[in-house]
A and B are shown apart, each in its own frame.
Chain A
Amino acid sequence: MPDQTQLLPGTLDLLILKAVSLGPLHGYAVLLRIEQISSGALLIEQGALYPALFRLVRQGLLKAEWGISENNRRAKFYELTSLGRKRFRKETQDWNRLSSVMAAVLATQVEEL
């Protein structure tokens, strides 16, 4: 297993939005999807997922519906609402801008000043 990184505060919501944007998922699958796309580099305590999911539902970014999972168990499936899609696009842009700025700042060398 590669080194696992603690999440920055507020990034969990964005990760969930990203995971769900690829198709409706139930809670555990969201976790798996994040682990998969981050190649296991991000550490999320499993239970911590649910307060975040419910928060996003309350904000109207996700909607949820009970269904049957691939394991043939009852599970609640989450998908993006149109508001959620809009928010996801915006947050992605914001994140990219921030991370490129941060990267540039951190890459600055003495002689460049």
Chain B
Amino acid sequence: MKLLTWLRSLSYKFDNNSASANDLDQELVSHIQHRADDLERSGLSRIEAERRARVEFGSYVKYQEQSHESRGGQFLETLCQDIRIGFRKLRKSPGFTSVAIITLALGIGANAVVFSIMNGLILRPLNIPRAENLYTIERGEDRSPMQSYPDYLDLRDRNRSFDGLIVYDIAPVGLSAGGKATRAWVYEASGNYFDVLGIQPQIGRFFHGADEHGPNSAPYIVLSYGYWQSFFQSNPAAVGQTVQVNKHPYTILGVAPPDFPGTELFFSPAFWVPIVNTEQIQGSNTLPNREDRSIWIDGRLKPGVTTAQATADLNSVGSYLGKTYPREDSQSTFSLTRPGLIGDMLGGPIRAFVTGLSLLAGLILLTACANLGSLFATRAADRSREIALRLALGSSRKRILRQLLTEAVMVSFIGGAAGLLGSIGLLRWLSAWRPMPDFPISAPVDADARVYAVALLLALASGFIFGMVPMRQVLKSDPYQVVKTGPTGSPAKQFSFRDLLLVLQIAVCAVLVTASLVAVRGLVRSLRSNFGFQPQNALLVSTDLDMAGYSGDQVPNMQRRMLQIAQETPGVSAVGINDRLPLDLGWSTDAVFRDTATDLTLSHQDAEAMTYDISAEYFQAAGTTLLAGRVFTQHDDGHAPPVAVINREFARRVMNAPRDSEIQAIGRYFKRTDGTRIQVVGIVEDGKYKTLTEDPQPAMFRPILQSPSSATWLVLRSNRDPEQLAAAVQVRLRNLDPELPFTIKTWNAQMGTALFASRMATISLGILGGLGATLAVTGIFGMAAYSVSKRTRELGIRIALGAQYKEVLLAALGKTARLLACGSIAGMILGLAATKVLSSIVYQATPRDPLVLGGVVVAMLLLGLIATWIPARRALSSDPLILLREE
């Protein structure tokens, strides 16, 4: 009913808006005429009668307006009016407007980005039909998503709660098609993968459970849409073609739809292959091994089955497994979790991280609102005379507040739109970003309708929040007093909530500035630190000979030829091969035992040593210092007794060598879990192997001829320009084997992986620090401007009475400066405490760094100076004469 009348009055308004205003005027005039008629009849002249009638009527404009309002339906009209006025007002003070808009753009932009990340990684389900009943199955107390294939088969065949269980993992392969050889990352998936997920092919067909007939029985691949576009130029004829995967013929069955990039959010594959062919894909078949847990299981619940029922069902299968295979499956309990982030392995930390981020972003928006609130309050104080005049002329307080609020919401919308635009750009970049070389990591965090809606809501809400701040001020103002004597304002309280907020904000800003400076310094230091190898002037060629069809004896032969041609390339001073790169993704460790050990079960190991298989000249090529003993030679092959070079930590921990005389370990033996005795022939310096921040790790290097590996990192040391060298090496390698898939890059570029965490920390802290600093500036600015504008008259009198600049400044900005100092000191102390946390991410992050401390002090001083500059100038330039005369 109410809506109907509103609509009716609205349509009425559109039909004859000016007519209705006219109508109202005519009626009021008619009233006055009738009254005048009566007065005239009582003996007054017509002119006098009309005058009296007008006086008796009261404030014509006021009642006209009130009538107009009570007639209803002028919501839009008023809104348009307010918006017009708002635009004029905002244009008239560009400084204020831009500060407000930037503040909000930052606040809302930050929130939009964080919400998009949350939306993309947590809120949005996988893009498959009925995504809500797909779960990842985790195993054991520690909820590991890693499962073994035999367990999967048992779970699949014995459970009663799932419509289907699928299994998959990711692996790199070499693909050659149409004369092009390349490396690609793929999903190895069970045959029922697409059927259980309910995905329909874009072109061609998918593989099915019926295609699986034992190892290597299903040489089929299904391309992802993106890979089909980029590698096959969207050619429909690609379907049905035979391509070489690791030199084995595979038939392209079909192409997946564009909106299905796999079941892990972070990993979008080039294509899918049946997991039964894993021997051809990975080089060995570990699937039959029940202890080998390296694959992930997702399951689709039957309709009506709860997760609790399903978990109980899985656990009953688990207890069967425990009884039947006590050695491998002794503790088989299962649990369910949301799919897409490798169970809780990535999911847990990501959820925690994103929650923390959104809290922080919320805090940023809140402080932005607080700042804008005080900015708007300053403005309302500046405009108190105008407001008082409007009140005196009969405008209602409601109307004035409404106009102020409209202005605030306008600012928040413009700021919100700017923030959203910025964040969309950032999100596009984030979605397309590949942070780790050679690895298909990506974060699907594009903005969607939900993000826009949230940004809109946030803009609206923050507009209302800070628009409300000056309300009380307007409601309390007495037009008579203000017009007569100018804004007086209530005496400032000693310490208000707003002050506390400001101190808090400055403290947060100081924390962020401190932390980001520490992170930057740490990053710089870690780039120059000792990794146990020298990434400068080193070029890397990475390949997997297995992918190019080499096996058995062909592998060391090919490696020897690769070493040879690399050695012959002009400008190369040393070349070596390592099967894995230290500080790269993934590593391999071996249990090692003292020579005296008799119990060689894993639980009695003396150390878990990083293991690398290297060629003779690797140390020289990598720039690792050999401290004592010898490196390997061509004679340390499968026929010679097993030898190893170890690092100092290994010598201390396993060989019992005392610190600083690790050389004693040379010539001694240690054992591996299979009982092989290995003699130590050399000792190298300690290095970093897994992460930059790790404690010293024991590491051993074995001759690649004694423990062959098809994974190959060719390290070339050279002072030549890396690009030229890379081109030269590329030509030679192509001549050697045109179908060998490999990548060439400098070791410095490859270090991106190792530095990823600290770079991320530095970048995000830098961004947050910048945000915090900007907000602190606007906050301090708002505060200082407010206190100056409230006391202009007092300052004028002081200047008139001969106060010095210093005293005036102290009077005007003393409180702001005190708040700034309090906040900065608190923030710095907190920031220094926080770097303890930071030091687990950033290498050698130490707060006891004069550069950092000095930097923070300078930064905070600078912020304070920037923020108080304009208000201070205003305070100083207030001309006592004008001020006093004006009021």
| A interface with B by C-beta (< 8 Å) | 26-29, 45-55, 57-60, 69, 71, 73-76
When the two chains form their complex, are residues B59 and A73 in contact, meaning their CB atoms are under 8 A apart?
Answer: no
Which residues of chain B have C-beta atoms less than 8 A from A26's C-beta? 30-31, 34
Chain A nearest CB: distance from B41 CB in Å?
Answer: 10
Q: A57 vs B63: C-alpha distance in the bound complex, in angstroms? A: 16
Return the contact of A27 from the options B27, B70, B71, B72 (Cβ within 8 A). B27
Known: A47-B62, A54-B70, A58-B5. A73 touches B57 (CB 8 A): no
Q: A78 vs B31: C-alpha distance in the bound complex, in angstroms? A: 13
When the two chains form their complex, are residues B34 and A69 in contact, meaning their CB atoms are under 8 A apart?
Answer: yes
When the two chains form their complex, are residues A51 and B60 in contact, meaning their CB atoms are under 8 A apart?
Answer: no
Chain B nearest CB: distance from A79 CB in Å?
Answer: 15
The contact string, 1 if C-beta is below 8 Å from chain A, for chain B 530-543, is 00000000000000
Top 6 A-B residue pairs of the complex, sorted by shortest distance between their CB atoms: A47-B63, A47-B58, A28-B34, A51-B66, A55-B70, A54-B71
Return the contact of B30 from the options A45, A53, A57, A75 (Cβ within 8 A). A75
Chain A nearest CB: distance from B3 CB in Å?
Answer: 13
Which residues of chain B have C-beta atoms less than 8 A from A53's C-beta? 67
Which residues of chain B have C-beta atoms less than 8 A from A45's C-beta? 58
When the two chains form their complex, are residues A47 and B60 in contact, meaning their CB atoms are under 8 A apart?
Answer: yes
Q: A57 vs B56: C-alpha distance in the bound complex, in angstroms? A: 24
When the two chains form their complex, are residues A27 and B58 in contact, meaning their CB atoms are under 8 A apart?
Answer: no
Known: A46-B57, A47-B57, A47-B60. A54 touches B30 (CB 8 A): no
Return the contact of B27 from the options A29, A51, A71, A76 (Cβ within 8 A). A76
Nearest B residue to A64 via CB reads: B27
When the two chains form their complex, are residues B30 and A58 in contact, meaning their CB atoms are under 8 A apart?
Answer: no
When the two chains form their complex, are residues B30 and A51 in contact, meaning their CB atoms are under 8 A apart?
Answer: no
Which residues of chain A have C-beta atoms less than 8 A from B59's C-beta? 47
Q: A49 vs B59: C-alpha distance in the bound complex, in angstroms? A: 12
Q: Is B9 an interface residue (CB 8 A)?
A: yes
Which residues of chain B have C-beta atoms less than 8 A from A51's C-beta? 63, 66-67, 69-70
Which residues of chain B have C-beta atoms less than 8 A from A54's C-beta? 67-68, 70-71
Chain A nearest CB: distance from B658 CB in Å?
Answer: 96
When the two chains form their complex, are residues A50 and B27 in contact, meaning their CB atoms are under 8 A apart?
Answer: yes
Q: A57 vs B9: C-alpha distance in the bound complex, in angstroms? A: 11
Would you list 24 pairs from A and B whose C-beta atoms are within 8 A, ordered by A residue?
A: A26-B31, A28-B30, A28-B31, A46-B31, A46-B35, A47-B28, A47-B62, A48-B58, A50-B28, A50-B63, A50-B66, A50-B67, A51-B63, A51-B69, A54-B68, A55-B71, A58-B9, A58-B72, A60-B5, A69-B30, A71-B37, A73-B34, A75-B27, A76-B30
Chain B nearest CB: distance from A29 CB in Å?
Answer: 8
When the two chains form their complex, are residues A58 and B58 in contact, meaning their CB atoms are under 8 A apart?
Answer: no
Which residues of chain A have C-beta atoms less than 8 A from B31's C-beta? 26-28, 46, 49-50
Q: A73 vs B70: C-alpha distance in the bound complex, in angstroms? A: 25
When the two chains form their complex, are residues A52 and B34 in contact, meaning their CB atoms are under 8 A apart?
Answer: no
Q: A57 vs B12: C-alpha distance in the bound complex, in angstroms? A: 14
Nearest A residue to B61 via CB reads: A47
Beyond contacts A53-B67, A58-B70, A75-B27: 4 other A-B pairs, Cβ-Cβ < 8 A, are A51-B70, A58-B71, A71-B33, A75-B30
Nearest A residue to B35 via CB reads: A28
Q: A49 vs B34: C-alpha distance in the bound complex, in angstroms? A: 14
List which B3-17 residues lie within 8 A (CB) of chain A. 5, 9
Q: Is B748 an interface residue (CB 8 A)?
A: no
Q: A58 vs B70: C-alpha distance in the bound complex, in angstroms? A: 8
Q: A47 vs B60: C-alpha distance in the bound complex, in angstroms? A: 7
When the two chains form their complex, are residues B30 and A27 in contact, meaning their CB atoms are under 8 A apart?
Answer: yes
Nearest A residue to B56 via CB reads: A46
Of B33, B58, B66, B70, most buried by chain A (CB within 10 Å of CB) is B70
Chain A nearest CB: distance from B16 CB in Å?
Answer: 14
| B interface with A by C-beta (< 8 Å) | 5, 9, 24, 26-28, 30-31, 33-35, 37, 56-60, 62-63, 66-72
Q: A60 vs B2: C-alpha distance in the bound complex, in angstroms? A: 10
When the two chains form their complex, are residues A71 and B34 in contact, meaning their CB atoms are under 8 A apart?
Answer: yes
Chain B nearest CB: distance from A73 CB in Å?
Answer: 6
Which residues of chain A have C-beta atoms less than 8 A from B30's C-beta? 26-28, 69, 73-76
Q: A73 vs B68: C-alpha distance in the bound complex, in angstroms? A: 23
Chain A nearest CB: distance from B133 CB in Å?
Answer: 53
Which residues of chain B have C-beta atoms less than 8 A from A55's C-beta? 70-71
Q: A42 vs B388: C-alpha distance in the bound complex, in angstroms? A: 32
Chain A nearest CB: distance from B480 CB in Å?
Answer: 20
Q: A52 vs B5: C-alpha distance in the bound complex, in angstroms? A: 17
Q: A27 vs B66: C-alpha distance in the bound complex, in angstroms? A: 16
Chain A nearest CB: distance from B805 CB in Å?
Answer: 55
Chain A nearest CB: distance from B397 CB in Å?
Answer: 16
Nearest A residue to B68 via CB reads: A54
Which residues of chain A have C-beta atoms less than 8 A from B57's C-beta? 46-47
Nearest B residue to A53 via CB reads: B67
Which residues of chain A have C-beta atoms less than 8 A from B28's C-beta? 47, 50
Q: A57 vs B70: C-alpha distance in the bound complex, in angstroms? A: 9
Nearest A residue to B1 via CB reads: A60
Which residues of chain A have C-beta atoms less than 8 A from B56's C-beta? 46
Which residues of chain B have C-beta atoms less than 8 A from A50's C-beta? 24, 27-28, 31, 63, 66-67
Of B5, B9, B30, B57, most buried by chain A (CB within 10 Å of CB) is B30
Which residues of chain B have C-beta atoms less than 8 A from A59's C-beta? 5
Q: A54 vs B69: C-alpha distance in the bound complex, in angstroms? A: 9
Q: A53 vs B67: C-alpha distance in the bound complex, in angstroms? A: 8
Which residues of chain B have C-beta atoms less than 8 A from A57's C-beta? 71
Chain A nearest CB: distance from B189 CB in Å?
Answer: 67
Which residues of chain B have C-beta atoms less than 8 A from A49's C-beta? 31
Nearest B residue to A76 via CB reads: B27
Q: A113 vs B388: C-alpha distance in the bound complex, in angstroms? A: 52
Q: A75 vs B34: C-alpha distance in the bound complex, in angstroms? A: 9
Nearest A residue to B26 via CB reads: A74
When the two chains form their complex, are residues A73 and B58 in contact, meaning their CB atoms are under 8 A apart?
Answer: no
Q: A91 vs B94: C-alpha distance in the bound complex, in angstroms? A: 54
Q: A5 vs B454: C-alpha distance in the bound complex, in angstroms? A: 54
Q: A66 vs B69: C-alpha distance in the bound complex, in angstroms? A: 21
Q: A47 vs B394: C-alpha distance in the bound complex, in angstroms? A: 13
Chain A nearest CB: distance from B50 CB in Å?
Answer: 13
When the two chains form their complex, are residues A46 and B69 in contact, meaning their CB atoms are under 8 A apart?
Answer: no
Which residues of chain A have C-beta atoms less than 8 A from B58's C-beta? 45-48
Q: A49 vs B69: C-alpha distance in the bound complex, in angstroms? A: 14
Q: A60 vs B8: C-alpha distance in the bound complex, in angstroms? A: 12
Q: A29 vs B35: C-alpha distance in the bound complex, in angstroms? A: 9
Q: A74 vs B32: C-alpha distance in the bound complex, in angstroms? A: 12
Which residues of chain A have C-beta atoms less than 8 A from B26's C-beta? 74
Of A27, A46, A71, most buried by chain B (CB within 10 Å of CB) is A46
Q: A51 vs B69: C-alpha distance in the bound complex, in angstroms? A: 8
Chain B nearest CB: distance from A32 CB in Å?
Answer: 8
Q: A71 vs B37: C-alpha distance in the bound complex, in angstroms? A: 8
Q: A56 vs B356: C-alpha distance in the bound complex, in angstroms? A: 54
Q: A45 vs B55: C-alpha distance in the bound complex, in angstroms? A: 10
Chain B nearest CB: distance from A51 CB in Å?
Answer: 4
Nearest B residue to A50 via CB reads: B67
Q: A73 vs B36: C-alpha distance in the bound complex, in angstroms? A: 12
Chain A nearest CB: distance from B259 CB in Å?
Answer: 52
Chain A nearest CB: distance from B385 CB in Å?
Answer: 27
Q: A60 vs B4: C-alpha distance in the bound complex, in angstroms? A: 11
Q: A39 vs B798: C-alpha distance in the bound complex, in angstroms? A: 62
Chain B nearest CB: distance from A113 CB in Å?
Answer: 43
Q: A59 vs B28: C-alpha distance in the bound complex, in angstroms? A: 20
Of B9, B26, B63, most buried by chain A (CB within 10 Å of CB) is B63
Q: A57 vs B73: C-alpha distance in the bound complex, in angstroms? A: 13
Which residues of chain A have C-beta atoms less than 8 A from B33's C-beta? 71, 73
